[in-house]
Amino acid sequence: MSQYLFRNLNLLDPRWTEARSGYEVLVEDQHIKEVSAKPIKSSGAQVVDCGKRTLMPGLIDCHVHVFLSEVNIRNLESVPLTLLTARAADLMKGMINRGFTTVRDTGGADWGIKTAVESGLIPGPRLFISGRAIGPTGGHSDSRRRTDQGMPSCGCCNAMVYSMAIADGADGVRKAVREQMRQGADQVKIMCSGGVASPYDPLDSLQFSEAEIAAATDEAKNFGRYVLAHAYTPEAITRAVTNGVRTIEHGNLIDAKSARLLASKGGYMIANLVTYFVMKEKAASFGMTADMLEKNDIVLGGALRSLEICKKAGVKVGYGSDLLGPLQVEQSREFMFRAEVLKPLEIIRQATIVGAEILRQEGKLGIVEPGAFADLIVVDGNPLKKLELFLDQGAHLPVIMKAGKFHKNRLSSRA
């Protein structure tokens, strides 16, 4: 049994409105054992002196792609899965270095890479996986070139195909959803509109019929899972939510009516502003085509406005980055873009307690209380006053702990 006692800290539980001094936190094995405003007695604990820094829950990113290691996903056609896995390990190490102790992969990561992290073979955040993202023929999940004839024969030899699946008709969608759940998916992703990184589908295209979406959500519900939908436009969002989709990914072009619908259903939106700004800045140098960048400009125009619309409608918004390949180093800049329209506390809540709700991990993640997982970070200052402390690849995070084990500890400690 391992015990760690954090002392001399300011505690930021995101359910509060400010950080509070005078608290101590005792960790035992994987969980938080005690949180107290009075000194905690524990003779066997290793004491960590936080030097009046801020202790808070680890961050949660609800939209990542650990296997999409290229900005231009066409380049993944020639990447073998062994190399893809090695790249994913490096990308995940970067995520936990930045304080993201939990991420939800929305297409690509499988039970193998999840097991590798859980067993300690490679460092990384907790992974909630979707398996292959499912879309219709010609949609955002269809990676074939126009010169390709017929369907891919398998997903074992091509990294891009491995991350995506094509299904048509309600029965076809049911089968594809069942397959992802058989493969250990924590949630299922479907495509309900066009996308930026796919060259042939217009952004405003409606992908999957109502019957196909309903088949996906019905199967997921039967298995105790839920469906998330890639959707940009009000029409795509409305079709998805009306037919049982729980979380909307991106949602840049959402309007007041579709936002009110999403709120009335208790759904969530996972915004990802940083990816559009960074692609605008850098993606052309990584081979993203002019057609893709033109679509990126369209969704970029609605990015900040979507947060304002959701806030007014009462939609809970999760933190998401959705960055591809080497652009994933910009993961924490999402805080700064959201700060243009939201308060720091609102954004921190999105990256902690709202993320936990999305993952159905309430009481386990995103908070600091007895019984929760000991996923904790220590910050060199108060992030409520300076969100920039989350930048610089974790340089301002002297402690990062996941499941009661230190990923990083640069503070003095004693037995």
Domains 3-57+366-414 and 59-358 share a fold: no
Instruction: Say if residue 255 is exposed, middle or buried (CB neighbours under 10 Å; 0-12, 13-18, 19+).
Output: middle
- pLDDT of res. 289: 79
**Which conformational region is residue 243 in: left (phi greater than 0), alpha (psi within -120 to 50 degrees), or beta?**
alpha
Query: What value, to the nearest 5°, has the Cα angle with vertex 242 and ends 240 and 245?
Result: 45
At which residue do the structure tokens 């990294």 appear? 159
Which CATH number is associated with domain 3-57+366-414?
2.30.40.10
Q: What is the domain partition of the chain in residue ranges?
A: 3-57+366-414, 59-358
pTM here? 0.95
Q: How far apart are CA 26 and CA 47, in angstroms?
A: 9
Burial class (CB in 10 A: 0-12, 13-18, 19+), 337: buried
- pLDDT, position 371: 98
User: Does residue 92 contact residue 117 with C-beta atoms inside 8 Å?
Assistant: yes
Q: Can you tell me the distance from the alpha carbon of 306 to that of 288, in angstroms, rounded to the nearest whole number? A: 25
- Write down the pLDDT at residue 70: 86
Cα 86 from Cα 105, distance rounded (Å): 16
Could you report the per-residue pLDDT of 33-79, keeping only the tens digit for each?
Answer: 999 999 999 989 999 999 999 999 999 999 999 999 988 777 888 88
Residue with tokens 């609102």: 346
Count CB-CB contacts under 10 A for residue 347: 25
* Cα–Cα distance, 274 to 258 (Å, whole number): 23
| Predicted pLDDT at 363 | 97
Residues 6+ apart with CB under 8 A from 94: 328, 329, 331, 393
Assign a CATH topology to domain 59-358.
Answer: TIM Barrel (3.20.20)
**Quick one: which of 163, 159, 91 has its CA closest to 125?**
91
pLDDT below 50 — which residues of the chain? 153-158
